[in-house]
Amino acid sequence: MKNYYEILEVNPKASKEIIENAYKILIKRYHSDPYNSNQMKEISEAYQVLINDFLREQYDLELKKQEIGDRKVLPNKKETKKPTKETNKKKSQVGSFSSLIEITKELLKSRPKKGEKREITQNDIVAIILTIIVVILIGVILWFVPFTNGWMRQLLFENPIFNWIGRIFSS
């Protein structure tokens, strides 16, 4: 896996401004040399990944995974290990489906365990409100679409559950 931080000659903790300045400097340095087209492509690729927050986060996770994997594969001084099938596996690329699955796994690890209480944050409340609004909007849209109108009428007026809910609120 290419190390984009080394390609752009920046620290992994560098801000977007520093990355952008390093990119501009390197592009100016190699722009006039026709023999460095591959290097220009690498610089552009590194810049595109590191300037995008989502891609950078995925790339950092992949880089960290590779570093951990490299530490596990390093041979001891006394014995040398032959490469196994696991070490020869193709690493998932940034932006790939497998890296998206890895990010999802990391997010799920941070969820509270069963029985643990979790504070409801302002973001949770906003997410709940937005979900309710989206569900209501979908219902309104389905009500006004001609071929779903009959289905919506049947759901709302002939369904015993909705009739029961209506009776509760009309009392």
21 and 65, same domain (yes or no): yes
- 88 pLDDT above the threshold of 70: no
10 and 94, same domain (yes or no): yes
- Evaluate whether residue 28 is within a structural domain: yes
Calculate what percentage of the chain has a pLDDT beyond 70. Answer: 73
- Evaluate whether residue 56 is within a structural domain: yes
pLDDT digits (tens, 9 = 90+) for 90-126: 455 666 667 767 777 777 776 666 666 667 778 888 8
- Which residue range(s) make up the domain with 75? 4-109
Lowest mean pLDDT among 33-47, 64-78, 155-169: 64-78
81 and 146, same domain (yes or no): no
Q: Please report where in the chains the tokens 């979908």 appear, as a residue.
A: 138
138 and 77, same domain (yes or no): no
H helix intervals, the chain: 4-8, 16-31, 37-51, 53-73, 97-109, 122-144, 146-157, 160-170
- 89 pLDDT above the threshold of 60: no
- Evaluate whether residue 105 is within a structural domain: yes
Which one has a higher pLDDT value, 89 or 14? 14
Per-residue confidence (pLDDT) for residue 131, from 0 to 100: 92
- 130 pLDDT above the threshold of 80: yes
Which one has a higher pLDDT value, 117 or 74? 117
22 and 102, same domain (yes or no): yes
Per-residue confidence (pLDDT) for residue 94, from 0 to 100: 61
Q: Please report where in the chains the tokens 């071929």 appear, as a residue.
A: 147
44 and 91, same domain (yes or no): yes
78 and 19, same domain (yes or no): yes
74 and 158, same domain (yes or no): no
- Evaluate whether residue 138 is within a structural domain: yes
Which one has a higher pLDDT value, 88 or 47? 47
Contact between residue 39 and residue 32 where contact means Cβ atoms under 8 Å apart: no
15 and 68, same domain (yes or no): yes
Per-residue confidence (pLDDT) for residue 132, from 0 to 100: 93
- Evaluate whether residue 31 is within a structural domain: yes
**How many residues in total does the chain contain?**
171
Question: Model-level pTM?
Answer: 0.41
Long-range CB pairs of 124-130, under 8 A, 24+ apart, other chains included: none
- 151 pLDDT above the threshold of 90: no
pLDDT digits (tens, 9 = 90+) for 22-69: 888 888 887 776 667 778 888 888 888 888 888 888 888 888 888 777
- Evaluate whether residue 114 is within a structural domain: no
- Evaluate whether residue 139 is within a structural domain: yes
160 and 87, same domain (yes or no): no
